[in-house]
Structure 1
Amino acid sequence: MLIEVVAAIIFFENKILCLKRGYSKYNYISFKYEFPGGKIKNNESNVSALKREIKEELNIDIIIKNKFKTIIHNYPDFSIKLHSYICSTDNFDGKLYEHSEYKLLKIDELKSVNWLEADIPLIDDLILEFND
């Protein structure tokens, strides 16, 4: 089963917003860091899904700057097609509605946390593209 999802790589005050997941029935995605986002609903565009998910998870508005990468990742029980976007916000207040923790990390600090496997290729590409 292939699940289409969107992810926002949100820049805030020159750092990237990283969110920690809570418990999941799949231990390989529990308590790992990820970029905010989620599933695309039927008849929903990627951009609409991204804005909706960010509103649900963080209650903030984002500016979507451009599409970053699309990757497919196979987990043991499901696969995802992940569409990522470079975004920014100027109003993150630290309130979380679906995650347990957040970190604001510089590009060169991204590998300091335990990420979902699907996000690791994005991190590698972010470091190559944005690290000065």
Structure 2
Amino acid sequence: MKQLKVAAAIIINNGKILCVQRGLNKFDYISEKFEFPGGKIEAGELPSDTVVREIHEELEMNIAVEQDFLTVNHEYPDFKIQMHSFICSTPTRELELSEHISFKWLDVSELWDLDWAAADVPIVDKLIKELDQ
């Protein structure tokens, strides 16, 4: 089974968290689901550097990595994923979608309003426990 190592950014601006929606996918279980933006870790690259690079490439947004958040190991029917997530900040909410079909800036209390990709669910759970107080 294919194994992917990826990094994801939990981007926060003035208390709102960026959530992006995937497009159609050959795997229906991730098609059009929401996720935290990021991408594949390249050989020799630190996961924290991956999120900065991927967010700039996919969203034309500059972010700063603030802290390591959670590493998720999830097995989908067709592949396994190890996802390193990071709390990140950005000075602006301006972005350009190139790989996603929509985005939302939400309060932590609104995160469960979205249909999340399964690998992102543990991150949502932890965010709600730690930030929604």
User: Which digits, 9 at most, give the CA deviation of each residue in 1:89-110, with x for residues without a partner?
Assistant: 0122142111100011100000
CA displacement at 1:63 relative to structure 2:
1.1
1:36 matches 2:43: no
CA displacement at 1:65 relative to structure 2:
0.5
* Residue in 1 that maps onto 2:73: 72
For residue 83 of structure 2, what is the amino acid of its counterpart? Answer: L
For residue 125 of structure 1, what is the amino acid of its counterpart? Answer: K
TM (norm. structure 1) is 0.96
CA distance in 2, matches of 1:71, 1:28: 17
CA distance in 2, matches of 1:8, 1:49: 9
CA displacement at 1:5 relative to structure 2:
0.4
Structure 1 residue runs without a partner (length 5+): none
Q: Which has the higher mean CA deviation after the structures are superposed, 29-38 or 93-102?
A: 93-102
CA distance in 2, matches of 1:54, 1:69: 18
* Residue in 1 that maps onto 2:4: 3
Structure 2 residue runs without a partner (length 5+): none
User: Which digits, 9 at most, give the CA deviation of each residue in 1:36-84, with x for residues without a partner?
Assistant: 0011011111122111100011111101100000010000000000100
CA displacement at 1:2 relative to structure 2:
1.7
1:45-56 aligned within 5 A: 45-56=46-57
For residue 34 of structure 1, what is the amino acid of its counterpart? Answer: E
CA distance in 1, matches of 2:95, 2:47: 25
Question: What is the DSSP-based 3-state SS (H/G/I as helix, E as strand, rest coil) of the residue aligned with 2:78?
Answer: coil
Paired residues, what number? 132
* Residue in 1 that maps onto 2:111: 110
Question: What is the DSSP-based 3-state SS (H/G/I as helix, E as strand, rest coil) of the residue aligned with 2:100?
Answer: coil
Runs of 4+ with deviation above 2 angstroms:
none
What is the root-mean-square deviation in Å for CA atoms of aligned residues?
Answer: 0.9
* Residue in 2 that maps onto 1:125: 126
